[in-house]
Structures are given as C-alpha cells and as structure tokens.
Structure 1
C-alpha cells in the first residue's frame, strides 16, 4: 500500500510540475524568462522563449506553441513564455498582414491565410536554427506552412494562449495552412509530434520570421 501511495505521489508531482522550473538562468539568443519576447525589425522576426513539453514527443497534438499561462498551456509541443497577444502585436508592429479569414462555423473547410511565417527553433548547445519541419513530425510528411491568421479578438476572448497551431485555426495567432481546422483531433487526417531525435527537456528559442 505504501509503495502504491509513493507511486501516485510521484506521478502527481510530475503531472503538476511547473514548466518554468530550472529555466531561471537560461538565455538563448537573447530570450529568457525575464525577457520572453524579442523583436528584430531588421530581420522582421519575433523570438519567443519556450521549453519542450516531452509529453508530445510521443503523443499527438494540434498545438505547436502555447503561452503556458493560457487555458491550453499544457497542450503544445512547446510551452511559450510570452503572452500570445503580445506576440500578435509584435507581428503587427513588424508590418505583417493577418489573414483574418478563419471563423468557427466555416473553419473546417477553410485554409488559414495571411503572411507566411517561417518558424525555427534553437536550444542550448545547438549550432544552428532548426526549421519547424525538422523538429515537428507530420505523419503524412507534408510541409508545415505557417500563416499569420490574426484572430486577435478570439484569442483575447478565449484566452487559450495559442500562439501557433498545426491545423488552420480560428483562435491561434498563426497556424498551418496545409490542413483545415479539426484535421487533427476530429477527422484524424494527420498526427503531429515533436521529433524525439532532436528535442528533449529544456529551454528553447522559437523564432518567427515574416517572409
């Protein structure tokens, strides 16, 4: 009985662990917990500090990056430590054009539009930036094509924290043009996982460049 209690206690601690723990001294490419969002107007890029959610190296999800304090903060491959609305504003300030064409009633038949966004990830010890298509695996081997969907109003109202979604989304700030909404969770057309050959626990910098 004592052994069972210890096992349950350990699982509870792991399940409730704070993703920000052990990141206080981590700084990657100028972003950290103290400075989670960095705008480079010359590159037209926004870099967000984050970390890997190891759960989704083995389990599918439709969420690439979510603000950890949002309602869906634990549902993404990457925890993001910048607020999704600050991220939206940063893209707008860079002159990015939002598609604003995603609406819940028609989302399952609509591909997100808006400026193309290149997404790259770097971690401590990495000697280069890795493209999102290297660090996230699409079960159909189709390219992830991120677009600036916008969705400021929906994001503000729902507070899911969604920064980047892996199918076209009426809430996420950016999302994947390749698939329409509900392709992952409802229609089961595709699965997405983090690449365990590259990713492991720890901090990451996630750079979003307007192209």
Structure 2
C-alpha cells in the first residue's frame, strides 16, 4: 500500500514542476508576443499548482499532527514538510509574475514582503533548532532567570540577523526586478531548508512504532 506521505511528496513534485512550467510558459509567450487570451495560460497552470498545494497541505497536517494513517517516521515527515514549505513559498512568489500582477508593483511588493516574512520565520526556527537546548538549559530545575538572560541575548542577535535579512531582501527588491528578487529569495529559502533538514537528518532520534 502506498503511504500517504509518498503520495504527498509525489504531488509536491508535480506542483513544483507546474510552477516552473508556469514561469517558462509565461516568458515564452511574452517572447512570441502572444495575445492577451494566450497570456492567461500561465495563470491556469498556476491554479493547478495552487490546487495541488491545498491537497498537499491537508496531507501534511494529517501526517504531522495526527496518526490517522499510522506511524510516519520523523525523517519522512521532515522531508515531506520541506517540500510543502518550498512549494508554498514558490506558489506565493510565482503569483506575482502572472499577467496583470506583473505590472502591479504594489501587489508584487506585498507578495515579496509576505515571502520574506515566511523565510524570516524559518530563520527563527533555524536558530532555535541549533541553540534551543542551550537557551532552555536549567529551566527544568527552576533556573528561569538564567534562561531568560540567555534568551535576551539570543533574541537580540536573532533580531539583528532577521532585520539584516529583511534589509537585504528589500534592497534586492528595490534594485532588481520582481522576478530576479523572488528568485533570490526562493534560493535563500531552499538553501536554509536543505541545510536544516540535512543537519537534523544526521541526528539520532528515538522513534516509536
């Protein structure tokens, strides 16, 4: 029997492929001076990717927060949700490249800022995966002041890093076109996700059946 996780991963792959096709078809039609009706084709492809994302999100929620489909290995959950994360961010950013939206700088700005916030939130998780145990050290023995003092320092450093990322992305957005800026943001997100998944994948984690 094919596991639900495998189906979700397969669908995520299809969704990401459709996003790539959406961008490719859009620029191909532009180079061919296509009619306005033909320029809507990328939107229809993007709708397909969006629909698949909805299905994949439901599968991911079921696998992550319930045991309706039985035991799912943590490594499988990690890989599956990595694909969901990349798929969701890609869907958001690709929307800003579609016909009609590509001429609306305000909407593109909103979409890019939303994507940036999603990546920044992941950086927050990234830091706490690496340093969470150190920050919380002593909490179980009631050393709340010690923990809070460490958290203050870490939050300061983390805030500077997150603000720096936002500033960098803002500079890229204002300097380059939306397409190039979105590509840079998407690449940063992929690198962060792959690094943390690779790091956690090498950790031993006891699992139950």
Normalising by the residue count of structure 1, what TM-score does the alignment of the two structures yield?
A: 0.28
Normalising by the residue count of structure 2, what TM-score does the alignment of the two structures yield?
A: 0.28
Q: Greater strand percent: which structure?
A: 1
